[in-house]
Amino acid sequence: QVQLVESGGGMVQAGGSLRPSCVGSGRTFGAYAMGWFRQTPGKEREFVAGISDGSVRLWYADSVKGRFTISRDNTKKLVYLQMNSLKPEDTAVYYCAAGNTIGAVSVRNFHSWGQGTQVTVSS
């Protein structure tokens, strides 16, 4: 498994942008598919975006397609989530996760999780 730490959340007005990042540890970071999820109080954690180990495949939740972009730099063990045209409904704690299944959208397919970073979008 791998240890993950998110950063780069914050507060922004609707229409603005943020780019949270996630740094991993361990020699196997580059071997994992990575994902971003988000969660609001009282709701289940939901899938946002995923990227395969070599960045060949990217997949997104319908709610963020065209606005968010996931990317990674395996040499630096980093995963990014570029979030543009933010909406108040994007407000959540954002988590990065590592897994073994390309195309996965379920939390059950990811075995390592960060502690989360808060993103707040005001109207």
For residue 95, the SS3 value is strand
**Would you place residue 73 in the very low, low, confident or very high pLDDT band (cuts 50, 70, 90)?**
very high
Q: What is the pLDDT of residues 76-98, one digit of tens each?
A: 999 999 999 999 999 999 999 99
Confidence of residue 70 (pLDDT cuts 50, 70, 90): very high
Work out the angle at residue 74's Cα, subtended by the Cα atoms of residues 59 and 68, and round it to the nearest 5 degrees: 30
pLDDT of residue 27: 82
Average pLDDT, the chain: 97
Angle at 87 between CA 7 and CA 34, to 5 degrees: 40
